[in-house]
Amino acid sequence: MQTPTQELQDLTAAAHAAVGPAAAASDAVRASWLLAIADALDANVAELVAIADSETRLGTARLTGEVARTTGQLRLFARVITEGSYLEAVIDHASPASTPPSPDLRRILRPVGPVAVFSASNFPFAFSVAGGDTASALAVGCPVIVKAHSGHLELSKRTAAIVSAALDDAGAPAGLFALVAGREAGTALVQDPLIKAVGFTGSIPGGRALFDLAVSRPEPIPFYGELGSLNPVVITPEALAARGSQLAAALAGSFTMGAGQFCTKPGLVFIPAGTRFGAEVAVECIGKGAAPMLTDRIAAAYPAGLASLAAQPGVTVLSGTTEQDAEAEGAAPVVFSTTAASVIARPAELLEECFGPTTLLIEYSDDAELSAALALVPGSLTATVHAEDGEDISGLVDQLTGLAGRVLFGGWPTGVSVNWAQQHGGPYPATTSLFTSVGATAVRRFQRPVAYQDAPEALLPEALREDNPLGVPRRVDGVLRLS
């Protein structure tokens, strides 16, 4: 399926025409659109899960839970916009006596305009047609055009039909939402002058190509891409001595979850040298059989990635085999081992993401070697530390904070809560921006600040009017007021 050029241009024109009505709609009205979508998806969950399972082979239990996460995201963003702080309303009253004299200035965040959203392969609901990017953009009044993922095209079409019907029934403006398909359509969508921002979840090569298109346009636009992440884990000698077997079991469960196809999979695990931890992880992987992967292309890439890593000097296969036919038989877990010294010598070869159920254990001899190896790890979505109470790990935490958007203590990174505090982003290549793609502040990606100077009261957005008719939190003359 390939959306024709003229049809795509008609859709972007319709989205552009919907900008005004969508931005003018009240927060309560836009919240009602999100709730209508959530209710419609919940009402059709059995049908949607069946289609998704036939295309992705993720299983009904996982997919049913993902629909619930997706509708939960929609309902969260409805609460976000009705609470009001997402507007970041600020008022500084005129101060003629200041030096220099200050005018009356009032600032608020406004929608950027039509947004292109690229669906992800590994989350056919939560990061797809009606996922977090779509929900957060619609929430703030941005029309959305979604580029369907080829790995679940039928699901994308059916989901889009449900979303469109729900929006129509809720009285949303025409052109607020649409779906396109095909690689060429995706490229054209990013280059279309009426598109004002892009949300993307996918591979580093694909995301980087689209990022380059977005910023090389005559009018460059922001590209919010989630690309690749190794998600390093550090285990201290004290933690390993205290609970090594427990950590081995939990690691095996985390890196094999979903056939290792989560963006937060722990791909690098730094462990003290000279322990039996690798052998314990290998034992925990016994019985964890092969699992189908999302697409034939992903399945074909997995054995190639394994073979590339196994061929590097200083790398040992502790568990599993690199000789796999993941397309026909599914992807089986593989545990590799190497040393921090090898990583320092060959970072480009050893610090390469392999999408699938595999992880690399990296033995370090002391804190200095650990720090030197961590300094070479690319930006990640998460970083995790396992230590015991009383250990001084402040320097380690500072280093992990510098390379990841979310730092975990004593847990495992697979599993991303959708709430007000979540940060799902990190230094490049984890993401191409500083903003999160999950949680309440995901809306900030699709807003731009506008200041009004000495504006007549009647022309101000309601959130900036003196009597605050919406009751939203605001900072007035430097003081935060909650209503």
Across 370-398, average pLDDT: 97
CATH number at residue 369: 3.40.309.10
For residues 378 and 452, membership in a common domain is answered with no
- Which domain-ending residue is among 349, 377, 409? 409
pLDDT band with cut points at 50, 70 and 90 for residue 1: confident
Paired sense of beta strands 447-453 and 105-111, if any: antiparallel
Quote the tokens at residue 96: 């003629």
CATH number at residue 65: 3.40.605.10
User: Is residue 91 domain-shared with residue 221, that is, in the same domain?
Assistant: yes
Instruction: Give residue 25's domain range.
Output: 5-227+433-481
Q: Is 226 among the residues known to form the active site?
A: yes
Do 304 and 217 have their domain in common?
no
What's the token pair of residue 8? 């795509």
Are the C-beta atoms of 189 and 180 separated by less than 8 Å?
Answer: yes
66, 142, 263, 369: which one is catalytic?
A: 263
Q: At what angle do helices 183-191 and 204-216 cross, to 10 degrees?
A: 30
Q: Catalytic annotation on 142?
A: no
Catalytic residue, candidates 226, 280, 284, 369:
226
Residues 60 and 196 placed together within one structural domain of the fold: yes
Average pLDDT over residues 104-120: 98
pLDDT level of residue 268 (50, 70, 90 thresholds): very high
- 162 and 76, same structural domain? yes
Query: CA 46 to CA 446: how far, in whole Å?
Result: 32
Mean pLDDT over each residue of the chain, to the nearest integer: 96
Residues 393-420: tens digit of each pLDDT? 999 999 999 999 999 999 999 989 999 9
Task: Report how far residue 208's alpha carbon sits from residue 226's, in angstroms, rounded to the nearest whole number.
Answer: 10
Same domain, 396 and 451: no
Task: Give pLDDT, residue 415.
Answer: 86
Q: What is the mean pLDDT of residues 194-203?
A: 96
Block residue for tokens 């280093």 = 399
DSSP3 helix / strand / coil % (the chain, rounded to 5): 45, 20, 35
CB 312 within 8 A of CB 349: yes
Total domains present in the chain: 2
Percent of the chain having pLDDT more than 90? 97
428 found inside a domain = no
